[in-house]
Amino acid sequence: MTRLARTNPWSGIALAAGIFVTCLLLALAFGPASLSLGQIWRQATTGPAQGDLANAIFWQIRLPRVLLACLVGAELAVAGVILQDLFLNPLTDPYVTGVSSGAALGATVGIVLHLAQLPWITVLALIGGFVTVGVVWMAARRRGRIDVFVLLLAGVTISYLASAVVTVLMIRAGQDMHAIVYWLMGSFSGRGWTEVEIALIAVPFMIVPLFFAKEMDILLQGEKRALELGVEVERTKRVLLVTAGLLTAIAVSVCGIIGFVGLVVPHIVRLLVGPGHCRLLPVSLLVGASMLCVADLLSRTVIAPNEIPVGVVTTFVGAPLFVYLLRRGRKI
């Protein structure tokens, strides 16, 4: 599979797309009330209808939740690819930019202020994430250049700062503490079409990096070499860093902090299709969507009617897979 995926650029993408469709169907089919493929087809074609329980399960609960998981998985995976390759650091995940902590702070403020409707918490989280992108950006700007190393440090610093404020708020929160902890762990339960609509804002940002695939390839050789080969490095970094920040902020704002996807999906995909971005980006997008979609399926079915936090599932599924692939001895 690896060899095939490397020799023909489309075969890897086609394979990933096949896996994604399979995962999507599985996630739509299984749950407390299972649906057959035929039922899924019927519900999907008839559209939302009143008074039908199966229809309500499909349209009101399952479809938005599954779509949201797919979107968030794709967003985190694409952001992970961008940041790992701009920082040339394999340990980077979308959360090192501090965006997730900023978003968490926004959400925590929302919870403490009892803005009970979820959209408000989501919007505050989104604002928190965007503000963090801006602050980190200003910190890393020197004489018109973005220093990625400073950006990384600023991101980590802001991350700690925001976490400290969240901790203070949690101590003061009393009975809201449970809600905050639950939000921080990340979950898709109770999310609906509003969150899907917010997550859909990110779709254009998932496509932007595809236009920079060549530049990202060349940047693997370092910024100076990229300049020598004719890449407008600063402009490319600007676009990509903002893109990654927005993707992360949007993902975190709708479902909380879900770990491991943004870190591990780019690595897994790099091992399978190589580091070239015209394959790495679309395949990561599809694999990220598949992975989070399946992880959410497991989180709501394994110990039903209770849920395992989806971040725990991603780690349990992703870690062994990642270790297995690393053991096969390919370079990251």
Partner 1 sequence: MAMVSLHDVAFGYDERLVLRRISFDLEDGDFIGIVGPNASGKSTLIDLIDGILRPVSGDVLVNGVPTRKYRRRDMAKEVALVPQHFDLDFDLAVREVVEMGSYCRGKDVGSCGDAEQTLARLGVADLAGRRFSELSGGEKQLVVLAQALMQQAQVLLLDEPASALDVSHQLRLFDLLRQLNGDGLTVLCILHDLNLAIHYFDKLLVLSGGEVAAYGPPEEVLRPEIVEAVYGVRAYLHRHAGRTFLTFSPRLRGERLGRVHLVCGGGTGSGLMRELVDAGYDVSAGVLNALDTDEATGQELGLPMAVEAPFSPVGDEAHGENLALMRAADLVIVTAVPVSHGNARNIAAAVEAASTGTPVWAARGVLDGDFAGVTGELDPAGARYFAGDEEMLTALRERGAPAAAAPPAARTADPGA
Binding site for partner 1 (CB under 8 A): 88, 214-215, 217-218, 220-222, 224-225, 227-233, 270, 274-276, 330-332
* Nearest distance in Å: CB 232, partner 1: 5
* Nearest distance in Å: CB 79, partner 1: 19
Our CB check for partner 1 shows the closer of 220 and 242 to be: 220
* Nearest distance in Å: CB 80, partner 1: 15
Our CB check for partner 1 shows the closer of 224 and 327 to be: 224
295/319 Cα distance (integer angstroms): 13
190/270 Cα distance (integer angstroms): 34
Our CB check for partner 1 shows the closer of 88 and 302 to be: 88
Our CB check for partner 1 shows the closer of 229 and 302 to be: 229
* Phi-psi category of residue 231: left, alpha or beta, with phi > 0 → left and psi -120 to 50 → alpha: beta
Q: What is the 3-state secondary structure (H, E, C) of the chain?
A: CHHHHHHCHHHHHHHHHHHHHHHHHHHHHCCCCCCCHHHHHHHHHHCCCCCCHHHHHHHHHHHHHHHHHHHHHHHHHHHHHHHHHHHCCCCCCHHHHCHHHHHHHHHHHHHHCCCCCHHHHHHHHHHHHHHHHHHHHHHHEECCEECHHHHHHHHHHHHHHHHHHHHHHHHHHHHHHHHHHHHHHCCCCCCCHHHHHHHHCCHHHHHHHHHHHHHHHHHCCCHHHHHHCCCCHHHHHHHHHHHHHHHHHHHHHHHCCCCCHHHHHHHHHHHHHCCCHHHHHHHHHHHHHHHHHHHHHHHHHCCCCCCCCHHHHHHHHHHHHHHHHHHCCCCC
* Nearest distance in Å: CB 216, partner 1: 11
The single residue listed with the structure tokens 């650091």 is: 89
* Nearest distance in Å: CB 31, partner 1: 40
Our CB check for partner 1 shows the closer of 8 and 34 to be: 8
99/107 Cα distance (integer angstroms): 12
* Nearest distance in Å: CB 275, partner 1: 4
* Nearest distance in Å: CB 268, partner 1: 14
Could you give the dihedral angle defined by the CA atoms of residues 90, 92, 93 and 96, in that order, rounded to the nearest 10 degrees? 170
Our CB check for partner 1 shows the closer of 191 and 277 to be: 277
* Nearest distance in Å: CB 209, partner 1: 17
Tokens linked to 280: 């790495």
* Nearest distance in Å: CB 143, partner 1: 11
Our CB check for partner 1 shows the closer of 174 and 230 to be: 230
